[in-house]
Structure 1
């Protein structure tokens, strides 16, 4: 299956797409540091990215006519700053809003499916109309905004098409399914809420739903405070275990009397993710790439770091100050230190052999903007499975029609 990756960044979603079995026809990213990260891994011969046709530049300037027909998937995370809780919240008034460019690529390539990822802030009430506008553009990519037409007037025309029924529209349409998900529910050791907008071309007749979660907070609480398996796994003696959080006592008592679905695994914690990674402050030889101590971490209001025995808080795209103030771990003695680049990569489920190019603050920006590889892979694999099933059904139906004619 053939894919095109937009706004690839350091390669999180694109790597997940590749690991799900798609072959990249174009990987587009404008940021030179992120491109350097990908190129450095290509020079090192890292298999997941070695054959990526990387193009460093603006999505709007890429020659989409050079891409052959038959694209199965377009994937990407348009810049999140216009909708981020930490941004200026301009949405359609922000020059970095690349959703129009994303819709244009989908209109031109007519892929069988797409995966679009963005921040939770996109779903805020203040963006409700523009969020609907984005979804309708993706559903009707050939209903193009006219010269001089405001986005609100364009939204009204799209709503009219929707009201009249997509089945009566003769152009290109998609069945669009938006989902707000927490990466921790899919085995990522990080509480990271993101919007995934997945679409399938309407003519394929696909019925798809977002993959079911595989991990849960309740399963973690049971493992820690009812069975004790979590502490046993980490070889922590009872006398050294922290006290049960008072605010969780009621919930834990209820869990002791309830059954948790056996298929749900415990949320993965910072301790789980980093258990074999040495402390960067110790002077010892190790083989971990990008694993250097960064001084200067401190706690201040609103930025308290991530406890060891929960998934990390959402990694932010920045170094010191407000963005990077949460990119810290809280040690058992209550002290804090910054996560190293390698530790942050672990929390984003990048493989240990994947290196990041640039200074600590620059690489942390790349990591804070990335899609966790494991989550991207699960979503892309689900889409690939659905496309394969659809193709098989089409072939079976074709053979039946040929047989009936005979």
Structure 2
């Protein structure tokens, strides 16, 4: 059951326009059903075997005893990253029942609260005081994203105040909050000051920085802001944000990599790091003589209707076309993607492919219908990136 803040706002379109979308959806469903019965066009692409194995980017570390609590857990990007970095899981909270199923399916021993029990607005967090060392979470980004209406505090989905409340009631040694980079823009400077910095600053020293996914081996254009807080000035003073583990070198003909805000290496030093794969290489697709980072994977739960597309913009469409990858109508699995030939003959993505592009290992199963799985994937912090943040926090606290 969704709370009001999770419900999409309907399109303001005419009945005629609505009929066009409905007919298009019905035609696509019919074509898919025909293809899966073996009655569609002959498959073009063999079932792919990815070359990128995200678990190799986050080798399991031994348990060190620090305990973490997860809010707005979603598909478990932060949860898995902290788990691989040796943190002991205390509990996870998310409003979506399918997110709870994902977490429980992958970690049977974890305490997971989802649906109404996972609604953070109803929790008295004081019972966790003394039981949690680090709180982490990614409050919904829709109030701040350039892809939305950017209503900020006026958006009923704004949950940053709830994250702050949890921190103040539990009083952990440290916390991590993730969101879109637009939150650091001029438009939301007052919001950050009033809703985040002002209530936390009496108790915590706050550090803000932006990380880029390909700097950690994830073949996708994705920049995100992180707010990290420590209870003592001494620990905060020695904290170092994660330094890049990989580099992406722009090759002739490839798309231009987005600039990052945290650049701790000179060009020469950066080139000595392992190379981040391009998306075609990562997916195990044939070499076209061209490769690039994948455009940002869109959540299937954003926008006025749920979708099985990961397309995020017009420019992203052009880049997907250059890569000869079809980002619309993501298939439930690789077998179905193989059978359901895209209109333009390009390679069709599966849920497993999108999860890999986001940094989830094959062993991490995302539950729910395709649109719900894509929602959990697109909203997640890439686990290898979360892993590096978790490791950096452990280093500061140890």
Q: Shorter-normalised TM-score: what interval?
A: 0.5 to 0.7
User: 1:343 deviation in Å?
Assistant: 0.5
Residue in 1 aligned with 2:13? none
Residue in 1 aligned with 2:279? 270
Secondary structure of 1:118's aligned partner: strand
Aligned CA-pair RMSD: 2.7
For this pair of structures, how many residues does the alignment match?
Answer: 289
CA contact (8 A) 2:295 2:320 kept: no
User: 1:330 deviation in Å?
Assistant: 4.0
- Answer yes or no: is 1:245 the counterpart of 2:253: yes
Q: Residue 316 of structure 1 is aligned with which of 287, 295, 298?
A: 298
Distance 2:254 2:359 in 1: 31
Q: Residue 176 of structure 1 is aligned with which of 175, 194, 206?
A: 206
User: 1:345 deviation in Å?
Assistant: 0.7
User: 1:2 deviation in Å?
Assistant: 0.9
CA contact (8 A) 1:329 1:337 kept: no
Q: Call closer, same or farther: CA 1:323–1:246 in 2, change over 3 Å.
A: closer
Q: Residue 373 of structure 2 is aligned with which of 363, 373, 384?
A: 363
The two structures have a TM-score, normalised by structure 1, of: 0.65
User: 1:64 deviation in Å?
Assistant: 2.1
Q: Residue 161 of structure 2 is aligned with which of 100, 104, 127?
A: 100
Distance 1:33 1:373 in 2: 19
Distance 1:262 1:61 in 2: 49
Secondary structure of 1:339's aligned partner: strand
Residue in 2 aligned with 1:383? 393
CA contact (8 A) 2:75 2:380 kept: yes
Distance 2:309 2:111 in 1: 36
- Answer yes or no: is 1:50 the counterpart of 2:59: no
Secondary structure of 2:236's aligned partner: coil
Distance 1:196 1:330 in 2: 32
Output one character per residue of 1:232-251: Cα deviation in whole Å (capped at 9) or x when no partner.
xxxxxxxxxxxx33998xxx
Residue in 2 aligned with 1:130? 191
Secondary structure of 1:206's aligned partner: helix
Residue in 2 aligned with 1:86? 147
Output one character per residue of 1:169-224: Cα deviation in whole Å (capped at 9) or x when no partner.
xxx5111111122111121111101001111112654321211122223xx34xx5
The two structures have a TM-score, normalised by structure 2, of: 0.66
Output one character per residue of 1:344-379: Cα deviation in whole Å (capped at 9) or x when no partner.
111111110111112212211111111100000000
Distance 2:165 2:321 in 1: 45
Distance 2:255 2:90 in 1: 51
Q: Call closer, same or farther: CA 1:272–1:96 in 2, change over 3 Å.
A: same
Residue in 1 aligned with 2:122? 61
Q: Residue 73 of structure 1 is aligned with which of 122, 129, 134?
A: 134
Residue in 2 aligned with 1:151? none
Larger C-alpha radius of gyration, 1 or 2? 1
User: 1:322 deviation in Å?
Assistant: 8.2
Residue in 2 aligned with 1:350? 360
Distance 1:341 1:331 in 2: 21
Higher RCO, 1 or 2 (CA under 8 Å, sep at least 6)?
2
CA contact (8 A) 1:9 1:34 kept: yes
Q: Call closer, same or farther: CA 1:63–1:51 in 2, change over 3 Å.
A: farther
Q: Call closer, same or farther: CA 1:126–1:337 in 2, change over 3 Å.
A: farther
Residue in 1 aligned with 2:245? 214
CA contact (8 A) 2:297 2:310 kept: no
**Where does the alignment leave 5 or more consecutive residues of structure 2 unmatched?**
1-65, 257-266, 301-306, 326-343
CA contact (8 A) 1:28 1:59 kept: yes
Residue in 1 aligned with 2:215? 185
Output one character per residue of 1:247-277: Cα deviation in whole Å (capped at 9) or x when no partner.
98xxxxxxxxx845454232321123212x8
Residue in 1 aligned with 2:87? 22
Secondary structure of 1:265's aligned partner: coil
Distance 2:347 2:312 in 1: 11
